Amino acid sequence: MSMPADTSPAKGPVIAVVGPSGVGKDSLMSGLAVADPRLRSMRRVITRAPEAGGEDYHPVSEAEFQALVEADVFALHWNAHGLRYGIPRDIEKLREGATGVLVNLSRAVLLQAQEVFDDFRVISVTARPEVLAARLAGRGREDAAEVERRLARASLALPEGLRQVHEVDNSGALSAAIVEAQAIIQAERA
């Protein structure tokens, strides 16, 4: 007796894009998604005011976030920089037929994400310290003390035990970082 063929669409990997504030994670993710329409991006839920700007996110209050946690809406959630972040379980729908799903994650949650997602990879985005300092100062979201705290955290290492980690330097032209990240994603698919 033969088993019926699996006709479910192939699922792309979850690709965590990580790095310090100001390194250009969101710009890199946007550029990658434009370059490959089958590469999707996951929108995070954040307890950040909608007018704060920055990335495309779903803003919620602390109470709304807690209600979502209690309703088991998130595949993954964490706290960082005084905010709460969540990745909805809808990420699994995005993975269907995708080259991959890009998601901006905190370094602190990577090992948990590796356990949650069956096909998980990390692109660690870096930039020279002077580039990070200029970008953080230029975006105007943090005061000088917060910029210093974020710069101090920039050199923190990724946790031990991650299975698939690739580094992309985004100190120069964004287009060069996009090409480098595309090569990594394509090599992983091969």
Please report, for the domain that includes residue 40, its CATH number. Answer: 3.40.50.300
Distance CA 39, CA 12 (A): 9
Residue 148: which of 52, 21, 47 has the closest Cα?
21
Per-residue pLDDT of the chain (190 residues; tens, 9 = 90+): 555 555 556 899 999 999 988 899 999 999 999 999 999 999 999 998 877 666 789 999 999 999 999 999 999 999 988 899 999 999 999 999 999 999 999 999 999 999 999 999 999 999 998 898 888 888 777 778 887 888 887 778 899 999 999 999 999 999 999 999 999 998 876 5
Q: Is residue 5 part of a domain?
A: no
Domains in the chain: how many in total?
1
User: DSSP strand E in the chain: where?
Assistant: 14-18, 39-41, 45-46, 58-59, 74-80, 83-88, 100-104, 120-126, 165-169
Helices (H) and strands (E) in the chain, counts: 7, 9
- 47 belongs to a structural domain: yes
Its domain, for residue 96, covers 14-189
Bridge partner list, 78:
85
